[in-house]
Chains A and B, each alone.
Chain A
Amino acid sequence: MLLSVILLNIKDSHSYAKESLYTIEQQLAVDWGIDVELLIVNKSKPLNLDNFPILKSVANQITLSESVELKNIIDECKGDYFTLLGLNEGFMSMIAVNTICKNIIDSPVDCADYQTLYLTEQNECYSSPVGFVINKEWAKNTSPAICPFPTDDLMYWTRLCLQSNVENIMSYDNTLFIAYDSSTETEVSTTESVMLCVASSIRRSKKLAETYYNELAKTCYDAWYLTKDMPIKDSARIRIKLSAALKSLPDISVMNLSNMQVDIPGNENDGDIKEFQAYMNKIMEGLK
């Protein structure tokens, strides 16, 4: 089997599943059960699929238990590749799955990275593994620090692309995924968004080598700006994560970081820039 679409319902909060499920139900030119499987991972009970006749007939629903833990979930899927969807995520295109399969056959890379339309308040500052199609064997054979899942934190899969120095990655311009807004998860999303800011910098860096550092500075700034007015307990968490993210970048030394040119286009607030620079200096001090 070529691909496993894994829908993670690990919080049992069914309210966001509807739109996402419709986008899966509507997929065209997919031979479910032959080339592609749909694996729904539930925390305690199966999703009710009565309104989704196609999904009902093809989905394999599993519930987490002592024998089936989230960290082992990719052992449960049959596809050579897998892609992870959160509850508020789905496919933008009706031929997304077909396109992904075609690309797997044409270019069997370790990790494929597709564009996502974000309808979230955070827009690009949104943390989730959405948009990645990952080779299962590669994931299993990569450092144990990356795989399997250590927690139920989906962000971990974004970090995968930060920490593991994926060499064999292919970035596509097609917008195949969509992320809907999930207002009750704002706090989590905002926190995690910091990570994605950095992650997206890495993604972009594959194409924008010359402006790599400026891009990184920009995204770090975005992350900082987004969260600077948050309560201290939240911002502390974020600073820790941002520090960890910067530290984990495989090819950026502290020296390089300290040479970053903070040039934020369109932002004329010097006070913010100075505050951000002070913040980054603190982080870099911590990394030495």
Chain B
Amino acid sequence: MKKLSIIIPYHNEDESLITPLYRSLEEQVLVDWNEVEIIVSNNCEEPKKLTKFFKQFPKIYPHIKYIECAEKSGMGQNRQNGLNCATGKYVMFCDSDDSLLTLTSIGSVLYALNEDREWYSSSVMRIEKTSLYQNKSAVVDMTAGTYLLHGKVFKLDEIKKIGISFNNNLFAYEDFYFLFLVSSAGYPFVRLPEDIYAWKNRTSSVSGMNGAGNNYSNKYVVDSFIYLYYGVQALEASNELSPELMRSAVSVALTNINRERYRLSNSDSIADEVAALIYNDFGRYVKEGIEVANQFDDASISYFMSWVESIKSLDVETFRHKYKIPKATKYIYPESVEVKYIE
């Protein structure tokens, strides 16, 4: 039995975009690759042939399992296809355009798995180049990002036993949804011995689109809403949610709202609705969330608090309908999708 399955969803991205991930895998040291399988799950309707590409990486090539989904599916389904094909005792997810953080990332994961715990996590380093940093390259330590799927390792048996799966209705944020379900199982996340994952912020990705490129009037607020919304869903499903996770989610939401507060001051209706949701569903976490997100100055906190105070009622169903947010069913399991193995 393999010790670890690394699941990489793929959607015909350019080879130049995906090379860093495979190179970072190939260059790992102190790893017995016989303990690892790499599942590449392609959900493109006209999948590319990758054999030649994979052969550039002779150490990992024999351990790559390449699958194609026979029908068009979203990101959630693509991740699920990989999960369904995994045979390792543990699974972790890497996105095609990201990279492992160090040359011992996998080695340290394999070492940590000897403890035989359910979930493991590490910080994720976000790599970006934005006007926030004067257009210079920056690394942001997302220590508070416990809501991220990346940099985490899950015991596959537990995933199956509890019945957690990705929501194939979601074209984006499927990872948050999955993680909230995982978190609701109540197992603690055991810290990995080192940070293992570099997440590259791309403006062309679905979740990275800026205001000009998507249909949302206020991207960051919608992001915040999504984090919290699926938190609610998971809460409903499990009746138990980690306060630590919720404080983290609130903290992230507050950070995003703070970034947008000048735009919010123009009273965008969606912003009001989000604020009400936060207030209604997460009121008890707001204070702690602010404490976690202690980078705020007093003016930001006052602004935020007055804002949520001003909006205390909201029809959640109207919001859900307006923005076409699906209501999660309890631990849905995806319908079977024909998956083709490519040797």
A positions within 8 Å CB-CB of B: 19, 22-23, 25-26, 28-31, 34-35, 92-95, 98-99, 102, 117, 119, 175, 178
> B125 near A: Cβ within 8 Å?
yes
Docked CA distance A98–B101 (Å): 12
Q: What distance in Å separates the Cβ of A65 from its nearest Cβ neighbour in chain B?
A: 33
* Contact present for A19 and B27 (CB under 8 Å): yes
B23 touches A26 (CB 8 A): yes
Q: Which residues of A contact B27 (CB under 8 A)?
A: 19, 22-23, 26
Known: A26-B27, A94-B24, A175-B102. 10 other contacts (CB 8 A): A22-B23, A22-B27, A23-B27, A26-B24, A28-B99, A28-B139, A28-B200, A29-B127, A93-B102, A117-B104
Picked from B29, B99, B128, B138, the residue with its CB within 8 Å of the CB of A94 is B99
Chain B residues whose CB sits within 8 angstroms of the CB of A30 once the complex forms: 137
User: Residue of A at shortest CB range from B27?
Assistant: A22
Cβ of B192 within 8 Å of any chain A Cβ, yes or no, is no
Q: A26-B24, A26-B99, A94-B198 are in contact. Are A31 and B137 (CB under 8 A)?
A: yes
Name B's interface SS: strand
Q: Does B20 contact A (CB under 8 A)?
A: yes
Bound: A35/B87 CA distance, A: 45
* Known contacts A23-B27, A26-B27, A117-B29; A92 and B137 CB within 8 A of each other: no
Q: What are 23 residue pairs bridging A and B, where the CB atoms are less than 8 Å apart in the complex?
A: A19-B27, A23-B103, A26-B20, A26-B24, A26-B99, A28-B127, A28-B200, A29-B127, A29-B128, A29-B129, A30-B137, A31-B137, A92-B103, A94-B100, A94-B102, A94-B198, A95-B139, A98-B137, A98-B139, A102-B139, A117-B29, A119-B30, A175-B102
CA–CA, A26 and B127, complex, Å:
13
Q: Which residue of A lies closest to B194 (CB)?
A: A175
A35 vs B125: C-alpha distance when bound (angstroms)? 20
Number of interface residues, chain B, beta carbon within 8 A:
22
Residue of B nearest to A35 (CB): B136
Are B29 and A119 interface neighbours, CB within 8 A?
A: yes
Q: How far is the CB of A106 from chain B (nearest CB, A)?
A: 14
Q: Do B101 and A95 touch (CB < 8 A)?
A: yes
Considering the chains assembled together, what is the distance between the CA atoms of A28 and B23 in angstroms?
13
Please provide the 5 A-B residue pairs with the shortest distance between their CB atoms, ordered closest to farther. Answer: A29-B137, A93-B102, A29-B139, A28-B127, A29-B127
A202, chain B: closest CB distance, angstroms: 26
Distance in Å: Cβ of A124 to nearest Cβ of chain B: 16
CB neighbours (8 Å) of B138 from chain A are: 29
Chain A residues whose C-beta falls within 8 Å of the C-beta of B129 in the assembled complex: 29
Q: Is the pair B29, A95 in contact by a Cβ cutoff of 8 Å?
A: no
Task: Select from chain A the residue with minimum beta-carbon distance to B98.
Answer: A28
Please report the C-alpha to C-alpha distance between residue A31 and residue B139 in the assembled complex, in whole angstroms. 12
Closest to B56 in A: A51
Q: Which residues of B contact A34 (CB under 8 A)?
A: 136
